[in-house]
């Protein structure tokens, strides 16, 4: 099934998403990687997050951004980064900040999917490496914070138009496609290497 | 630093090399991706492969990086013993990296391990990574690979018991891939290094990734092992981006070295589908040719 969503995302919209569905997302998407998540955690624990994240999407992405002559930013390439590194920030992102969609690649684990189920959020993937295509959906850099962390680690606030196709791989109904595939693969690896399988 | 004509050429050629690697997918990789799309039967995998191929076409047409992670820059350099530039080469490569980071642009990816501070230009302590070989002749060959961060995550080193190594090897490789390949943007290319010291096993594994896809190791025993492992990996069902599918790996490459009788190092270095590489050969008169 295909969904056209616009931020802010409601809980009802998240509940309608199922693993395997395709989403095209418009609205506000905020990038955050390792260092940005650490800083978000520090600020949120003091009750002072740098912006309102409610109903928005966090994008695990460290983009290449060029500053043009008039001082505006041009996003050159902006595909997803490996989400597994950010697993332990899920509670912060979903429960504390109120983010409804996490976008990344490679999937997230059991802890993350449980938190997302409980607080009604979903995980969506873009094909890793497809940075040139993803950049096309980014219409404007609305804001950037924390450039002291370096270009890839800064918090980029993007306005996107039909970012996608995003594939739903963790939904609120208990499914986590990444873990399902890994579980089967590990089982198969065992059988293949013990010679029990032709 | 005042550069000689030949030094200028080395810098210029290296910048072109970096641009080619960042923005153009090599023909062997594109062929492998198209073959994967033909053979794949899973819908989600097919849809993503189509997007990946389209992304490469856009990147090449618009001259922008295929992937925003333009990697840690790794050079493999073969210096002819009659080529006039020697130790100064490192400085020239750094100069080219600085310029290329600004002009292409590449993402600055050299970060201090403790402070996390980014140097901002991809140059730092042992960055770029340079592997040098001295060879007979009068030319200079530079190959570059842009090694993305996510694809390094699942890389592994095992030191196997020599008496059981060949039985255990498939299990070590398959388990590493089954558990973690999804983090490194499959369909992956698997680099394997057998033998030597532990560090050399990993280096061989990384070097193996530079051999053209589809080309087997010239040693028939090693070639057979490559094929056997590739078949097994493609039965794991991981598929494009780990969402399930028939094609998990585009190829398996093995390089080997003689080992100590008491140890059997096995280095596994994974590579995302976006194997970004390019090469060039520079002659002492300043003429050069770009290749893959």
> CATH code at B98?
3.30.1330
Q: Per the CB < 8 Å rule, is A76 touching B64?
A: yes
In this predicted structure, the answer to whether residue A196 has a pLDDT above a threshold of 60 is: no
CB contact under 8 A, B171 and A79: no
pLDDT of residue A97: 96
**pLDDT for residue A195:** 61
Distance CA B245, CA B180 (A): 15
Would you state the pLDDT for residue B173? 96
Q: Per-residue confidence at B241, pLDDT binned at 50, 70, 90?
A: very high
B79 and B156 part of one domain: no
Residue B13 pLDDT: 98
Domain range for residue B116?
5-23+66-148+276-291
- Asked if residue B43 belongs to a domain, the reply is no
Chain position carrying tokens 């000689």: B4
* Structure token digits, residue A181: 């595939």
Q: What are chain A's domains?
A: 2-194 (3.20.130.10)
Q: Report ipTM for this prediction.
A: 0.92
With cut-offs at 50, 70 and 90, classify the pLDDT of residue B153. Answer: confident
The percent of residues above 70 in pLDDT, for chain B, comes to 100
Number of DSSP helices (H) and strands (E) in chain B, helices first: 7, 9
Closest partner residue to A128 among B170, B185, B237, by Cβ? B185
Q: Which residues of B touch A129 (CB under 8 A)?
A: 52, 55, 66-67, 148, 185, 272-274
- Rounded to whole angstroms, the Cα distance separating B1 from B220 reads 49
B286 Cα to chain A: minimum distance (Å): 32
Q: Are B171 and B158 in contact (CB under 8 A)?
A: no
Mean per-residue pLDDT, B112-128? 96
Nearest Cα to B238, choosing from B168, B184, B169?
Answer: B184
**Tokens for A16?**
């309608």
Mean pLDDT of the region B265-288: 97
Total tally of structural domains belonging to chain B? 2
**Is B248's pLDDT higher than 60?**
yes
Q: How many angstroms separate the CA atoms of B67 and A131, rounded?
A: 4
Q: Please indicate whether, in this complex, the C-beta atoms of B150 and A77 are within 8 angstroms of each other.
A: no
Q: Do the domain assignments include residue B83?
A: yes
| pLDDT bracket for residue B1 (50, 70, 90) | low
Q: Is residue B59 part of a domain?
A: no
- Digit-coded pLDDT (tens) for A141-150: 999 999 999 9
Rounded average pLDDT over B94-120: 96
B114 plus B250 within the same structural domain: no
Clarify whether residues B141 and B17 are in a common domain.
yes
pLDDT at B95 over 50: yes
Examine the domain organization and report whether B107 and B186 are in the same domain. Answer: no
Q: How far apart are CA B20 and CA B18, in angstroms?
A: 5
Distance of CA B266 to the CA centre of its chain: 18
Q: What is the mean pLDDT of residues A110-122?
A: 97
H or E element, residue B144: strand B140-147
Residues B126, B212, single domain; the answer is: no
Whether the pLDDT of residue A197 is over 60: the answer is: no
Give percent of chain A with pLDDT exceeding 70: 98
Q: Which of B250, B243, B257 is nearest to B271 (CA)?
A: B250
Q: What is the mean pLDDT of residues A79-104?
A: 96
Inside any domain, residue B57: no
B281 shares a domain with B141: yes
User: pLDDT tens digit string along B136-145?
Assistant: 999 999 999 9
pLDDT for residue A198 is more than 90: no
Tell which A residues from 100 to 119 touch B, by Cβ distance under 8 Å. 105-107
């Amino acid at each position: 099934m295909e969904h056209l969503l616009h931020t802010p995302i409601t809980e009802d919209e998240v509940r309608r998403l199922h693993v395997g569905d395709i989403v095209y997302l418009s609205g506000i998407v905020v990038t955050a990687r390792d260092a940005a998540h650490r800083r978000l955690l520090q600020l949120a624990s003091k009750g002072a997050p740098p912006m309102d994240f409610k109903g928005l999407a966090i994008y695990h992405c460290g983009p290449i951004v060029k500053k043009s002559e008039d001082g505006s930013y041009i996003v050159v390439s902006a595909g997803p980064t490996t989400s597994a590194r950010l697993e332990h920030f899920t509670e912060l992102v979903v429960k504390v900040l109120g983010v409804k969609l996490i976008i990344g690649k490679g999937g997230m684990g059991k802890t993350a999917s449980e938190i997302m189920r409980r607080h009604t959020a979903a995980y969506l993937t873009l094909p890793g490496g497809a940075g040139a295509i993803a950049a096309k959906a980014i219409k404007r850099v609305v804001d950037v914070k924390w450039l002291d962390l370096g270009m890839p680690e800064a918090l980029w606030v993007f306005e996107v138009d039909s970012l996608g196709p995003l594939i739903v791989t963790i939904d609120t109904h208990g499914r986590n496609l990444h873990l399902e595939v890994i579980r089967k693969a590990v089982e198969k690896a065992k059988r293949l290497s013990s010679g029990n399988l032709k | 630093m005042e550069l000689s004509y030949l030094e200028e050429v080395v810098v210029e050629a290296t910048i072109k090399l970096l641009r080619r690697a960042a923005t153009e997918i090599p023909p062997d990789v594109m062929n492998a991706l198209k073959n994967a799309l033909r053979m794949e039967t899973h819908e989600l995998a097919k849809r993503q492969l189509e997007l990946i191929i389209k992304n490469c076409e856009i990147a090449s047409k618009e001259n922008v990086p295929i992937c925003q992670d333009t990697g840690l820059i790794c050079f493999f350099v073969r210096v002819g013993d009659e080529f006039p530039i020697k130790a100064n080469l490192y400085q020239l490569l750094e100069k080219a990296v600085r310029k290329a980071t600004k002009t292409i642009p590449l993402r600055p990816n050299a970060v201090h391990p403790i402070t996390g501070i980014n140097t901002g230009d991809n140059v730092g302590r042992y960055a770029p990574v340079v592997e040098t070989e001295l060879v007979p002749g009068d030319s200079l060959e530079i190959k570059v690979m842009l090694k993305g961060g996510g694809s390094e995550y699942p890389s592994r080193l095992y030191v196997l018991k020599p008496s059981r190594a060949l039985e255990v090897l498939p299990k070590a490789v398959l388990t590493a891939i089954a558990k973690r390949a999804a983090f490194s943007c499959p369909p992956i290319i698997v680099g394997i290094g057998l033998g030597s010291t532990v560090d050399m096993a990993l280096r061989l594994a990384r070097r193996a990734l530079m051999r053209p896809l589809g080309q087997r190791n010239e040693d028939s025993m090693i070639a057979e092992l490559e094929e056997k492992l590739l078949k097994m990996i493609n039965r794991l069902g991981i598929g494009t981006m780990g969402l399930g599918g028939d094609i998990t790996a585009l190829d398996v490459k093995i390089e080997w070295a003689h080992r100590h009788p008491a140890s059997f190092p096995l280095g596994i270095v994974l590579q995302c589908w976006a194997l970004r590489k390019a090469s060039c050969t520079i002659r002492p008169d300043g003429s050069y040719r770009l290749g893959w």
